[in-house]
A and B are shown apart, each in its own frame.
Chain A
Amino acid sequence: MIGNHPRENTENILEVRDLVQTFSQPYGILDRLTGKPRKTVHAVNGVSFSIRRKEVFSLVGESGCGKSTTARTIVRLLEPRSGSIVFDGEDISAYSPTRMMHVRKKMQMIFQDPYASLNPRQRIKDIIMEPMLFHKTVAGKEEAHAEMYRLLDIVGFRPEQAERYPHQFSGGQRQRIGIARALSTNPSFIVADEPVSALDVSIQAQVLNLMMDLKDEFSLSYLFIAHDLSVVRHVTERLGIMYLGFLVEQGDRDVIFDTPLHPYTRALLAAAPTLDRERTGDPLQGDVPSPIDLPPGCPFVSRCPRRMDVCSRERPVLRKIEGRFAACHLYQ
């Protein structure tokens, strides 16, 4: 993908360039015999962005837009198909699992489902000490214990709760345990994939406040993945909006929320229910198209209320317009 790349400097903790991720659909013997074509899901299609040190950058979009796949590829839980991932000055996109090891302690992940991401058979203390001992960020068991109690205190638990198992905690408490585990290797970068979407609103506020306090205390950078725009507006400094595996707009929070340009960003902001306004205008029609056969032109063409002839022929690239980057023929 050609086009201007937003920002290029060494203050960045993470730089992602033209990241592509695809998945092959299962191709069984019956498919082979009947001569069915192989199908590929184009999950992420040339995504570029960077995250500065101590910054929160969010990827937003609806299910299937590729935001979680992008996050999982960045932490190398998935092999990137192509493109580069530069973390803390090192290009890690082709690192072997062994070479990834020393990087991984610097980048940790917080998951969406606090019920599925903690081992039900491990005590809280072991859940938190395991990464430290594995990555040898502590000298020994004794130091690990001290560090574990310190982390538990930071996320708001009493020392005796370290002996308990995950099922003895509520969803919000488990998410705080997940956060303590992520902090245990002293990372500089945390990928938070929908960290509060499974939580009740009153608990959501508690976890968001904790995450923001920790950001200052530990000098963390976050890649924040979310679909709830009001949550994103609260936590993030910059954001990118994804649709069908493409970044369609990215820029500073206030620029995007106050004056969105891309028709999809506008539709997304208009569709989000809010306390302080009436629903206006017609909702966006239709559904997200299949990521198997990408449209040749703009990914949003099938639902765009302002589509033009050129949109189904030519794919727009991200360009700097009015203080942000947008990929739309209306502004090219």
Chain B
Amino acid sequence: MAELLLEVRNLRTYFELFRGTVKAVDGVSFTLEAGEILGIVGESGGGKSVTGFSLLGLIDPPGRIADGEVIFRGEDLLKKSAEEMRRIRGKEISMIFQDPMTSLNPLQTVGRQLDEMLALHTSLSASQRRNRAVELLTEVGIPNPADRLENYPHQFSGGMRQRVVIAIALAANPGLIIADEPTTALDVTVQAQILTLMENLVKKFGSSLILITHDLAVVSEMTHRVAVMYCGRIVEEGPTKELIRAPYHPYTMGLLESIPRMAGTRLPRLPQIPGMVPSLFDLPRGCSFEPRCPRATARCREEIPEMRRMTGNRRTACHNPQTAGKEAADYDR
């Protein structure tokens, strides 16, 4: 078994708003091994991005981390001071965001932004930093890297900009990279380039990756393990291939079923999950998915299901999980 890099225990991130408390992340626990790629998947409002921000302590008021532990390399990040966190961000854990245009400074050259990262987190001299910057741009596949250091972000295409962001994220060789919808703004052929690049670099640099996305197809191609989030909780977690082949939770099943396929039989109608995500101000008393769930029973209305261990290193929080291998006949076609 590989070394445990990160352990998140019972994380709760709440937003205290005028209308009430939004429990954006409500008791999330998961682990990550060194070199592992974990996908966090779900629809908007599921709490996947807030989970990512919480790990880095990037929650501003009215939000607050109400409870939990984020154990990274044996130390609880939630107990660190702001100063200590500043040293960890970028050096130990870095983040890649959806929109490369907003995560780069438009007024600084790409070279200067790379240099800032290296100056902050390494002890290299100015000329060594420049060489390293060229190396990094080469690593992420940017042609003429030495000349490109002098360019500003707007002089790059969307895909190239995301490559720059990845180079900056990798600059201090962090143990963990959190990528929040890194390819959602990109075209499919460019998305394929960036995903392949990230996969190769994570392997080469020996980092772990948390990939936050709404796209189950991307998760299925990229990740070793996946956690499915719904209304602030993880509803199912397990090795990606097994989970996608035979999901336990009806929400996972519903998500998978509602994606049209690229090959094979074409269904006349897409199986759909009825209704919509409930308001986070007004969650159901029991399981949050109960109002939309085809397998719901009286118990689901009353009692929030606890996460429990299933076969083969898998977990789910459901009172009536789908038995493995059962065909999905519960959603109306």
Contacts and interface: CB of A to CB of B under 8 A. Distances in A.
B271 interface: yes
Nearest to A212: B269
A172 B214 CA distance: 16
Nearest to B268: A212
B196 A279 contact: yes
Contact of B258 (A202, A212, A229): A202
B214 A275 contact: no
A69 interface: no
A274 B217 contact: yes
Given A234-B266, A283-B189, A275 B258 contact: no
Contacts of B44: 200
Contacts of B258: 201-202, 204-205
Given A233-B260, A272-B262, A275-B259, A205 B270 contact: yes
Nearest to B193: A283
B220 interface: yes
Nearest to A210: B272
Contacts of B43: 200-203
Nearest to A65: B187
Interface in B253-274: 254-256, 258-264, 266-267, 269-273
A304 interface: no
A209 B260 CA distance: 11
B188 A172 contact: no
B317 interface: no
A276 B263 contact: yes
Contacts of B276: 170, 172-173, 202-203
Contact count band on B: 35 or more
Interface in B143-197: 157, 159-160, 187-193, 195-196
Interface in A220-259: 227, 229-231, 233-234, 257
A285 interface: yes
A158 to B, nearest CB: 14
A262 B175 CA distance: 42
Contacts of B269: 209, 212
Contact of A233 (B215, B255, B261): B261
Most buried by B among A209, A212, A231: A209
A177 to B, nearest CB: 14
B56 interface: no
A-B interface, 10 closest residue pairs, ranked by CB to CB distance from nearest: A234-B260, A205-B258, A283-B192, A62-B187, A273-B217, A271-B192, A200-B43, A205-B270, A205-B272, A202-B273
Interface of B: 43-44, 157, 159-160, 187-193, 195-196, 214-218, 220-221, 244, 254-256, 258-264, 266-267, 269-273, 276-277
Given A233-B261, A284-B192, A287-B159, 19 more contacts: A62-B187, A62-B189, A201-B214, A201-B259, A202-B255, A205-B271, A212-B269, A229-B188, A231-B260, A271-B192, A273-B188, A273-B217, A273-B221, A274-B217, A274-B220, A275-B217, A284-B189, A287-B157, A287-B190
Interface of A: 62-63, 170, 172-173, 200-206, 208-209, 212, 227, 229-231, 233-234, 257, 267-279, 282-285, 287-288
